Amino acid sequence: MGISKMSILKCLGEPRNKLFAARKYLEGLGFSSFHTASKSSVELHSQEEEVVIALGSNVGDRLHNFKEALKLMRNSGINITRHACLYETAPAYVTDQPRFINSAVRAVTKLGPHELLSALKKIEKDLGRTGGIRYGPRPIDLDILFYGKYKVRSDILTIPHERIWERPFVMAPLMDLLGSAIDSDTVASWHSFSGHSRGLTGLWEDLGSESLIGEFGKEGMYRVMPVANGLLDWSRRTSVMGILNVTPDSFSDGGNFKSVESAVYQVRLMISEGADMIDIGAQSTRPTASRISAAEELGRLIPVLEAVVSMPEVEGKLISVDTFYSEVASEAVSKGAHLINDVSAGQLDSNMFKVMADLDVPYVAMHMRGDPSTMQNSENLKYGNVCKEISSELYSRVREAEMLGIPAWRIMIDPGIGFSKKTEHNLDILMGLPDIREEIATRSLAISHAPMLIGPSRKRFLGEICSRPDAAKRDPSTIASVTAGVLGGANIVRVHNVKDNLDAVKVCDAILRQKSSHLKSRH
């Protein structure tokens, strides 16, 4: 839309009948409202518009600033629907200041553009932002990048934001919010505003796109996940998550680590072998497993969790709790767990997403149909294209999680190897991890970039392929499946045998680094 509805009229002092006539004229052109110069009190708006708002912070507790800003935005009539990834970036323009974290959100609001600006400025002030120097340090910075299909021009507001196109730390999260497919007329208009023949995608590619996102710790910009009072860059290397089942009935090691002493011994062993994370499960999710109550699960979990988090050896390691109960998740985090691993992606406890939104820890959303007792029935095993259907079903769960307040930068995805899958489905997944990401990317680039966890360890399909009915004898086939998964883009592998799988992971990471080096040298 070439004409700006915000700047067509400077209507201060205009007679009431002219204002009414102008409004009717604009409505006839398809505009839902018109806006005057910024100091006018007239701003007519009633329908919801989709907006994009960028966030940045480099003063104080940056993650807390983001969390509070999102909460205050929701309280101000800005309903957040999607989150970008989280980036730590070098400062721009004024370089002698702390590093920033940056992201962006899509939202819908009935606030007019200047009302929205006022709401965001109030949030900045409430979170401690003062005048300061232009482009200088600030606890929070909130910028309107897009407002519906409209361009806005006034003395205090320009939309699209005039510096989008030159700022990689704005363009990266902006692109995260879009899918590779244009899903609405509004998104189409955002692409058109770029002035590039291939829209925002072409502009981002011209800037350098993924090549701008470097390795952790280097100058520049990289994706991070907030965890355990730090920032995790999962792209540096593949992480190994050691499995600790404190259950009597898990398929591989049920009953081995029921006592606190045996559990602590196993954790000590896995950490000595190089585990980055320990995943503690107190409820079996093997096929046909019957469900125990949250209270019984907590009774098994908490003594072990308390002992594990107090171990000197776990300093610098991440402790995960494998549960689909929100009550267990909440209690586990209060006792020191760093992330929650939910095999049901919120399907088995309707409160899980709401609870996780307040817990401020990463959340693993795994694909499964039904529950452990029903997941292998004939109905749940029906797939056409398994990777495409996993992508669609898993994304729908993550979308709901976002709507209920879990930012994309705290979400990990797991395609659910062995859960409501036949042997051939599991093999398709191991071959098709890039396809799963690509399919998710059509809807949200942010979620397609999320850390991907896979858990093939000692699963039944490996026994079927290799004629190994004893789960404990499936470690070699686990190593093979882990190798395939890491080379296909998995970022975290969940395994029983840490030592041997870590060796496999190190070789895979070396191969991938070498491949990346060759690709860079060609360009």
Peptide bond into 173 cis (omega under 30): no
Q: Flag whether 355 is in a domain.
A: yes
Tell me which of 221, 243, 268 is where a domain ends: 221
Span 309-322, mean pLDDT?
A: 96
Q: Single out the catalytic residue among 5, 459, 460, 474.
A: 459
| pLDDT interval class at 247 (50, 70, 90) | confident
Residue 459 is among the residues annotated as catalytic for this protein: yes
Whether the per-residue pLDDT at 42 is higher than 70: the answer is no
Residue 138 is among the residues annotated as catalytic for this protein: no
Span 403-424, mean pLDDT?
A: 97
Predicted local confidence at residue 62, as pLDDT:
94
Residues 251 and 129 in one domain: no
Predicted local confidence at residue 253, as pLDDT:
54
DSSP class of 194: T
Q: Flag whether 258 is in a domain.
A: yes
Predicted local confidence at residue 285, as pLDDT:
86
Class of residue 16 by CB neighbours under 10 A (exposed 0-12, middle 13-18, buried 19+): exposed
- CATH of residue 103: 3.30.70.560
* Cβ proximity of 123 and 77 under 8 Å: no
Q: Flag whether 409 is in a domain.
A: yes
* Cβ proximity of 166 and 208 under 8 Å: no
Lowest mean pLDDT among 123-137, 331-345, 352-366, 483-497: 123-137
150, β-bridge pairs = 147
> What's the CA dihedral at 449, 393, 390, 278 to 10 degrees?
60
Q: Flag whether 228 is in a domain.
A: no
Residues 360 and 243 in one domain: yes
Residue with the bigger pLDDT between 34 and 283: it is 283
Tokens linked to 508: 């895979």
Residues 366 and 508 in one domain: yes
> What domain count does the chain have?
2
Whether the per-residue pLDDT at 270 is higher than 60: the answer is yes
Residues 207 and 294 in one domain: no
Q: Flag whether 37 is in a domain.
A: no
Place of tokens 């998710």: 440
Span 451-477, mean pLDDT?
A: 96
C-beta neighbour count of 518 within 10 angstroms = 9
- CATH of residue 485: 3.20.20.20
Measured at the CA of 169, the angle between CA 168 and CA 172, to 5 degrees, comes to 70
Report the mean per-residue pLDDT for the chain.
Answer: 88
Query: For residue range 81-104, what is the model confidence (pLDDT) as tens digits?
Result: 999 999 998 887 777 788 899 999
Tell me the three state secondary structure of residue 93.
coil
| pLDDT interval class at 220 (50, 70, 90) | confident
Residues 385 and 466 in one domain: yes
Residues 166 and 276 in one domain: no
| pLDDT interval class at 7 (50, 70, 90) | very low
Residue % of the chain over a pLDDT of 70: 87
Residues 289 and 343 in one domain: yes
Tell me which of 172, 189, 221 is where a domain ends: 221
Tell me which of 221, 246, 274 is where a domain ends: 221
Nearest to 102 by CA among 137, 136, 141: 141
Whether the per-residue pLDDT at 329 is higher than 60: the answer is yes
Helices and strands counted in the chain (H then E): 17, 17
Residues 70 and 163 in one domain: yes
Secondary structure (H, E, C), 429-493: HHHCHHHHHHHHHCCCHHHHCCCEEECCCCCHHHHHHHCCCCHHHCHHHHHHHHHHHHHCCCCEE
Whether the per-residue pLDDT at 255 is higher than 70: the answer is no
Predicted local confidence at residue 3, as pLDDT:
37
Tokens linked to 378: 């004939």
Residue % of the chain over a pLDDT of 90: 73
> What's the CA dihedral at 414, 418, 424, 426 to 10 degrees?
30
Query: For residue range 144-179, what is the model confidence (pLDDT) as tens digits?
Result: 999 999 999 999 999 999 889 888 999 999 999 998
Residues 205 and 284 in one domain: no
Tokens linked to 447: 């979620």
Q: Single out the catalytic residue among 494, 506, 515, 522.
A: 494
**Could you please report the per-residue DSSP string of 208-269?**
TGGGGB--TTSSSEEEEEEETTEEE-TTSS-EEEEEEE--S--TTTTTTT-SHHHHHHHHHH
Predicted local confidence at residue 326, as pLDDT:
98
207-232 exposure pattern, b = at least 16 Cβ within 10 A, e = fewer: bebeebbeeeeeeebbbbbbbbeebb
d(CA 77, CA 64): 21
| pLDDT interval class at 286 (50, 70, 90) | confident
| pLDDT interval class at 28 (50, 70, 90) | very low
Tokens linked to 516: 């990346």
Residues 183 and 266 in one domain: no
| pLDDT interval class at 287 (50, 70, 90) | confident
Range(s) of the domain holding residue 197: 47-221
Residues 456 and 514 in one domain: yes
d(CA 40, CA 114): 10
Q: Flag whether 350 is in a domain.
A: yes
Predicted local confidence at residue 133, as pLDDT:
64
Predicted local confidence at residue 1, as pLDDT:
38
* Cβ proximity of 401 and 346 under 8 Å: yes
Residues 271 and 160 in one domain: no
